[in-house]
Amino acid sequence: MGLPVVWRKCVRGILASSQASVLINGSPTLEFQCFRGVRQGDPLSPFIFIIAREALIGIMSKASSIGLKKSHEKSNLFGLGVDDNLVSQMDSLTNCM
């Protein structure tokens, strides 16, 4: 995707410093810090996955370019709670399975 560094830092900052407020009887509470990541089923989840995938591909490409080799015999890719098609796509990108 080639997302700019500034954009990635902005998204990281939003997720790391999120705050929330709750309406009780129509009045908002004071804002409080959220200490967990994105909730399961959140519309941002697929986008965050794509960003994380891009980072992984970048790291692996850089490692390959400086001569590091992957041990395909010892590597497996497992996706817990992830669609099998996405695992297959990552496999084809990383040659892991």
Q: What is the pLDDT of residues 15-49, one digit of tens each?
A: 666 777 777 777 888 887 776 666 777 777 777 77
Give dist(CA 23, CA 28) in Å, integer.
4
The predicted structure's pLDDT at residue 21 = 75
Query: Quick one: tokens of 22?
Result: 């709750």
For 68, the token pair is 């590091």
Q: Is 92 helix (H, G, I), strand (E, B) or coil?
A: helix
- Judge contact between 14 and 25, C-beta under 8 A: no
pLDDT score recorded for residue 15: 66
Torsional sign, CA 32, 35, 41, 47? positive
**pTM as predicted:** 0.37
pLDDT of residue 69: 65
Of the candidates 77, 80, 81, which has an alpha carbon nearest to the alpha carbon of residue 89? 77
pLDDT of residue 66: 78
**Does residue 72 sit in helix, strand or coil?**
coil
Res 83 pLDDT > 60:
yes
